[in-house]
Amino acid sequence: MTNHEFRYAAHPVDSRVYGTEELRKEFLIPKLFVKNSVQLTYSMYDRYIVGGVMPVDQSVKLETVPYLKSDNFLDRRELGVVNVGGKGKIIVDGTAYELAKKEALYVGQGVKEVIFESVSGEQPFFYLNSAPAHKSFPTKKVSANEAEVIQLGDEKYANKRVLNKLIVNSIVETCQLQMGLTELLPGNVWNTMPAHTHNRRMEAYFYFDVEEGQTVCHFMGEPQHTRHIFMENNQAVLSPEWSIHSGSGTCAYSFVWGMAGENLDYSDMDVCAPNELR
Ligand SMILES: O=C[C@H](O)[C@@H](O)CC(=O)C(=O)O
Ligand SMILES: [Zn+2]
């Protein structure tokens, strides 16, 4: 079963007048995991698709959605998947890839069939991102020890974190997609501070491992016109190309970032000094 919804892109000046409900309706993706189904949100930010798959006691197939007008989901797209739950399996045109928590799979354009399954009674949660693709690159699993790890932040600023680049062009060849996973160390709460924008690429953040009863306050908007969205565990948020994307939690947490657009240069960011934000 595949459920899908569509989101238009917003003009930054229009979005300044959005209240809480409108901000949440346009940018928050509240529910990604539904038993034995695929949940997809198709956005007009670089035609990026954000989704979740939760196979419990059935195989779950990635089906095409009406916005694509294609026979198969990946006819003109590429896909990145990060597992944030127990062990699971993804079968790509007959080849099975087992993914433990925090492992990733890149699936290239042209693949006909992608099936998600749980493994030995564990409950995987597959978070997925997809962007249009013009060329077929090989499907590749990125296991935890293949990730490119960067230590970021400082206890002093409550933002000490470990950034794991998973689907980036030094590890996997992709057309547009870049994905990775950042883990806050205990007692640290701020991500992506100093904040940045990159008008060349949109981005999506997916927060997970947020403690029960706690929250992450996600900051978005133009650097001088910021807004916030309080997020729960396992929720995603779209970050337009004009928006900062940063957060502060009431506990430590992890998140998956994913992006697509004009270039594949991870370091291409326009950083905003904390005291310049408004
Ligand atoms: O464009 C790159 C992204 O916003 C993230 O990789 C930033 C991030 O994970 C972090 O600072 O913790
Ligand atoms: Zn970014």
- DSSP states of 101-149: TT-EEEE-TT---EEEEE-TT----EEEEEEE-SS----EEE-GGGSEE
12-48 per-residue burial string, b: 16 or more CB within 10 A, e: under 16 = eeebeebeeeebbebbbbeebbeeebbbbbbbebbbb
* H/E element, 178: strand 178-184
- CA 3 – CA 33 distance, rounded (Å): 11
- CA 205 – CA 50 distance, rounded (Å): 10
- Binding site feature residues for Zn(2+): 196, 198, 203, 245
CATH topology for the 2-276 domain: Jelly Rolls (2.60.120)
pLDDT for the residue 206 = 99
- CA 47 – CA 67 distance, rounded (Å): 10
**8 A C-beta contact, residue 79 and residue 50:** no
C-alpha dist (Å) from residue 54 to 111, 191, 233: 21, 27, 15
10 Å Cβ neighbour count for 237? Answer: 25
- Phi and psi dihedrals of 145, rounded to 5? -80, -5
Regarding the beta carbon of 165 and ligand 1, being less than 6 Å apart is answered: no
**Which three-class secondary structure state does DSSP give residue 9?**
coil
User: Which atom of ligand 1 is closest in space to residue 159's alpha carbon?
Assistant: 12
Q: Give me the amino acid identity at 48.
A: Y
Print pLDDT tens along the chain (278 aa): 999 999 999 999 999 999 999 999 999 999 999 999 999 999 999 999 999 999 999 999 999 999 999 999 999 999 999 999 999 999 999 999 999 999 999 999 999 999 999 999 999 999 999 999 999 999 999 999 999 999 999 999 999 999 999 999 999 999 999 999 999 999 999 999 999 999 999 999 999 999 999 999 999 999 999 999 999 999 999 999 999 999 999 999 999 999 999 999 999 999 999 999 99
Best residue among 45, 166, 182 to mutate for probing ligand 1, ranked by most atoms within 8 Å of CB: 182
pLDDT for the residue 127 = 99
pLDDT for the residue 111 = 98
Vertex 262 angle, CA 173 and 142, to 5°: 25
* H/E element, 204: strand 201-208
Regarding the beta carbon of 184 and ligand 1, being less than 6 Å apart is answered: no
Give the CA-trace dihedral at 138, 140, 62, 253, to 10 degrees. Answer: -140
Nearest CA to ligand 1 atom 5: 257
pLDDT for the residue 182 = 98
pLDDT for the residue 246 = 98
- CA 227 – CA 220 distance, rounded (Å): 5
CA of 266 to the centre of ligand 2 (A): 8
pLDDT for the residue 271 = 98
Report ipTM (2 d.p.): 0.99
Regarding the beta carbon of 191 and ligand 1, being less than 6 Å apart is answered: yes
pLDDT for the residue 234 = 98
